[in-house]
Structure 1
Amino acid sequence: MSILSIWNKNATLTLIRRSENYLKRSLSSATSHSYQYDLIVIGGGSGGLACAKEAVANGAKVAVLDFVKPTPIGTKWGVGGTCVNVGCIPKKLMHQASILGESIHEAATYGWEIPEQQNVKANWSKLTEAVQNHVKSVNWVTKVDLRDKKVEYINGLGYFKDPHTVVAVMKNKSEKELTAQNIVIAVGGRPRYPDAPGAIEHGITSDDIFSLEKEPGKTLVVGAGYIGLECAGFLKGLGYDATVMVRSIVLRGFDQQMANIVADSMVEKGINFIHKAIVTSVEKQKDGRLLISWKNTETNETGSEIYDTVLFAVGRKGLVEDLKLENAGVTSIADDKIVVNEQEQTNVPHIFAVGDIIKGKPELTPVAIHAGRLLARRMFSGSSQIMDYADVATTVFSPLEYACVGMSEERAIEKYGADNVEVYHGFYKPTEFFIPQKSVRYCYLKAVAERSGDQKVLGLHYIGPVAGEVMQGFGAAIKSGLTMKILLNTVGIHPTTAEEFTRLAITKRSGLDPTPATCCS
């Protein structure tokens, strides 16, 4: 039998199974209730759309409700959620723009003749226009994809009337009632503002920066999580003065040694840091600039300075307030998030939640997408596979990028004890840094492993160029039970930075210098 015949046979069987599943559900539903939809998804972001499309692929009738409230300065966007519109995609494009700016100056050291390179600068208007044109093209493709896949898209703000009824508030304020056997909440979150006079009136967030009409100029970024560091990083790379205000620690939730190295590398790039401080007021001056006042959280000493822009990146709030969850009997709510079990169920069995709205899970687009798909398969194709939220790889797109997968050094020691954890580490010298004579002092990586046996790898951490590309494959390796024995018997690809993981020979316990003599040592 040919491969094509086998494929056709398998495809036919799959369609038959999906039809049977749908028929069984329809018959079951008809015996008790008559609903308009098998599934309603509230929220048109990555997780919600993935869940909706997968459900339709398995024979369900699905509607998606999606509505974006404008930011305080009026920014709004189309379908696709945070990632597409004001998150991962425009952030990566801005990051790439800043890297290209640095590369232009480096090119001369490789022999490229670039006239008047000292006058090379970014055009903010052209950059934001290019970014927004791409975002809008993705919005259009997303709508077409939903139409082609027979997902009904409703541009309305959803709230619960009862456990099986969702009301969509349309743009003209009219209301449309919809009923469904199952409902998935995938509304995500939006940035918080600090409780300081003038913060909301005069500040912006990551929801605004990628389409900001005027140049940001001298910018204070309040918050030192990954969003804050990424925004400060690309702003500095684009030629703007950038300062980061840190309330407590940098990159909370990440390995703290790596977090501090990232911060130090940003200081080397010329990014300023104000530590242990919170904003107390934002006052607009006659010339339109902003007087930002703050105080030290330890000493109560105060300070102030004039900036052109203040960008708040002080955390995100789950969008639960508009849902009227009490009407559906959903009570599993904590800290503006929804608490779910391992099946993504709320306390109401037919109401689920995926993505950034659920409490205690990684707030990452690929996590939401995968969880949404698996949920749809469990609901409509008889699957029993649940989402594994452990060992999810991620990257911080700081000027010198940081990627990791698995446990931090602190978490491993907390769980297993210092005597049972071995940390292999090393500095390294990227070949592409040599001719431009770029600093290599912060290019560093480490593997956190069990000390016994073949030394199962608990976490990998890397700071350096193209960190996300480096870490993706290692993410699969960690999932597959990677050990130090396997890692150190893997032949690296030379000359790359990823191969440095295969050459980790020095442990922290040994006290030896982890700095290599050459790129090949």
Structure 2
Amino acid sequence: MAPIQKECDYLVLGGGSGGLASARRASGMYGAKAIVIENKRLGGTCVNVGCVPKKITWNAANIAEHMKDARAYQFSFEETAPFNWGAFKRKRDAYVKRLNGIYEKNLKSDKVEYLHGTASFIDSHTVKVLLDDNSEAEIKAKRILVAVGGYPNLAPVEGAEHGITSDGFFELETQPKKVAVVGAGYIAVEMAETRLFIRNDTFLRSFDPMVQEKVTAQYEKNGIHLHKQSSQSKLEDLGNGKKKLHYKDQSGEGSIEVDTVLWAIGRSPELEKLNLKVTKVAQNDKGHIKTDDYQNTNIEHIYALGDVCDRGFELTPVAIAAGRRLADRLFGGMKDAHLDYSNIPSVVFSHPEVGSIGMTEPDARKKFGDDIKIYSSNFTDMYFAMHEQDEKTPTAYKLICQGKDEKVVGMHILGMGSSEVLQGFGVAIKMGATKADFDRCVAIHPTASEELVTMK
């Protein structure tokens, strides 16, 4: 049967949040004929196996921590049953499925055509789509956005397939009792359970040293067994629900039996099935699509955003913002519309939470030399006033200021509620706030964040 022939103004490859935001804006606001192609579930990594289910799971862990904290406040209660992992998973899955439906409904309301299937380029203007019923469609588009996202990497070791990635974590039907997590970035820190294997001595190496050191120390205090300076050589499936991980760390060679090994060592752009080479779109040495500040590739009518491009911010709100700006420029007549990638706030849902915006201290010193001033504060949140000393979780804040006006070029915070605190302060720093601007803000007492406007 001959392929179905379609034409459109704007073809979006990928149903993640960034691509959907761009397509909806192009069609719903500017009247462009837009088509979205996705071969998995709408919402991409964030909704299905990333931000959303991760935050729900983190909330569950946080509630468990609050139950412990309640005893310090003299609450006395008994657990009538242990945590029901299976029921929790089913309810979390149902929430995600409902979001998938909302995304599809929103596409319809903005008159965006949605095709579920696998796309591959025929030429730089034409894409072939293998649909779910094994029929094919050929779509010729004036402009094409590549926003197919990425996938989590397996470690390059023998037997790596016996472990899982962050995708597999959300498929677990039963709660593993003993877990080995390999990695030191966002995913590894947010999902750590018992043993954590890192290549160096600290987590979160792209963050400020204060964050790295304090999060690492707190995880050790919390009983997480850290294997520093580690590498893995082999993963065995023992056939009884157990896995054996062979490793080398600062103490020498060893092995450990666990229920689950979680690889959290980064992601790669999901371009293998796209036949991108026929378009002559340029990629960097890691396979990411090269883009400029306007999401342009080297091919005039092809654009890229999100995890698949080389901008370095694999964050859902970044992709959404970039997608909207791109639609504004291409279809809304806003010739200079583009996302400013400077001072983008980011958080890690670790225990305690981490927030960061702007330059780290090493980066600031490299750029400005001695023309910076550091303000910092280390303290215990009043929430822990009723706890024993060894039960308290630290809070630490750092401001990095530059020049005689002491413009805030970096802020790094660690402690309860850091994700919420950072959002507001991020606006101020994006606007160019100085230390004097912070000082002029009257403190809200008693809060932890008042420390940010009272540092000396």
Give the TM-score range, shorter chain: over 0.9
Closer/same/farther in 2, CA of residues 416 and 194 from structure 1, 3 Å limit: same
In the alignment, which residue of structure 1 is the partner of 2:148?
187
- In 1, are the aligned partners of 2:291 and 2:311 still within 8 Å (CA)? no
The answer as to 2:30 corresponding to 1:58 is yes
1:449-485: CA deviations, max 9, x gaps? 11x3220011011100011101001110011111111
The answer as to 2:434 corresponding to 1:483 is yes
- The whole-number CA distance in structure 2 between the counterparts of 1:123 and 1:336 is 41
Deviation at 1:377, TM superposition (A): 0.6
In the alignment, which residue of structure 2 is the partner of 1:256?
209
Match of 1:318 among 260, 263, 269: 269
- The whole-number CA distance in structure 1 between the counterparts of 2:327 and 2:397 is 38
The answer as to 2:59 corresponding to 1:96 is yes
- In 2, are the aligned partners of 1:334 and 1:359 still within 8 Å (CA)? no
- What amino acid is aligned across from residue 118 of structure 2 in structure 1? L
- The whole-number CA distance in structure 2 between the counterparts of 1:97 and 1:454 is 44
SS at match of 1:293: strand
- In 1, are the aligned partners of 2:352 and 2:416 still within 8 Å (CA)? yes
The structure with the largest alpha-carbon Rg is 1
Q: Which has the higher strand share?
A: 2
- The whole-number CA distance in structure 2 between the counterparts of 1:165 and 1:377 is 23
- What amino acid is aligned across from residue 151 of structure 1 in structure 2? V
In the alignment, which residue of structure 2 is the partner of 1:229?
189
- The whole-number CA distance in structure 1 between the counterparts of 2:197 and 2:350 is 16
1:225-254: CA deviations, max 9, x gaps? 01100011xxx4xxxxx1110013521211
1:252-279: CA deviations, max 9, x gaps? 2111221121111111111111011111
The answer as to 2:13 corresponding to 1:42 is yes
Deviation at 1:322, TM superposition (A): 1.4
The answer as to 2:173 corresponding to 1:213 is yes
- In 2, are the aligned partners of 1:160 and 1:325 still within 8 Å (CA)? yes
In the alignment, which residue of structure 1 is the partner of 2:379?
428
In the alignment, which residue of structure 1 is the partner of 2:453?
502
- The whole-number CA distance in structure 2 between the counterparts of 1:326 and 1:82 is 24
The answer as to 2:102 corresponding to 1:130 is no
- What amino acid is aligned across from residue 142 of structure 2 in structure 1? Q
In the alignment, which residue of structure 1 is the partner of 2:233?
280
- The whole-number CA distance in structure 1 between the counterparts of 2:312 and 2:157 is 29
- In 1, are the aligned partners of 2:381 and 2:394 still within 8 Å (CA)? no
Matches within 5 A, 1:119-518: 121-200=82-161, 202-232=162-192, 236=193, 242-248=194-200, 249-296=202-249, 301-383=252-334, 384-417=336-369, 419-437=370-388, 439-440=391-392, 442-450=394-402, 452-505=403-456
SS at match of 1:322: helix
- What amino acid is aligned across from residue 360 of structure 1 in structure 2? R
1:424-455: CA deviations, max 9, x gaps? 001122121112346446311110111x3220
Deviates more, 1:381-390 or 1:105-114: 105-114
- What amino acid is aligned across from residue 362 of structure 1 in structure 2? F
- What amino acid is aligned across from residue 172 of structure 2 in structure 1? L
- The whole-number CA distance in structure 2 between the counterparts of 1:369 and 1:392 is 13
- The whole-number CA distance in structure 2 between the counterparts of 1:432 and 1:442 is 11
Deviation at 1:311, TM superposition (A): 0.3
SS at match of 1:375: helix
SS at match of 1:334: coil
- The whole-number CA distance in structure 2 between the counterparts of 1:47 and 1:210 is 22
SS at match of 1:428: strand
- The whole-number CA distance in structure 2 between the counterparts of 1:271 and 1:295 is 18
- The whole-number CA distance in structure 1 between the counterparts of 2:283 and 2:382 is 52
Identity of aligned residues (%): 38
The CA RMSD over aligned residues, in Å, is: 1.7
- The whole-number CA distance in structure 2 between the counterparts of 1:316 and 1:266 is 24
- In 2, are the aligned partners of 1:337 and 1:357 still within 8 Å (CA)? yes
- The whole-number CA distance in structure 2 between the counterparts of 1:273 and 1:172 is 48
**Segments of 4+ in structure 1 off by > 6 A?**
none
- The whole-number CA distance in structure 1 between the counterparts of 2:72 and 2:183 is 36
- What amino acid is aligned across from residue 217 of structure 1 in structure 2? K
1:47-96: CA deviations, max 9, x gaps? 1000000101211000000013xxxxxxxxx2110000100111111111
1:180-216: CA deviations, max 9, x gaps? 100000011000011111111x110111112311222
- The whole-number CA distance in structure 1 between the counterparts of 2:253 and 2:207 is 29
SS at match of 1:182: strand
- The whole-number CA distance in structure 1 between the counterparts of 2:406 and 2:345 is 20
SS at match of 2:15: coil
- The whole-number CA distance in structure 1 between the counterparts of 2:53 and 2:91 is 10
Number of matched pairs:
448
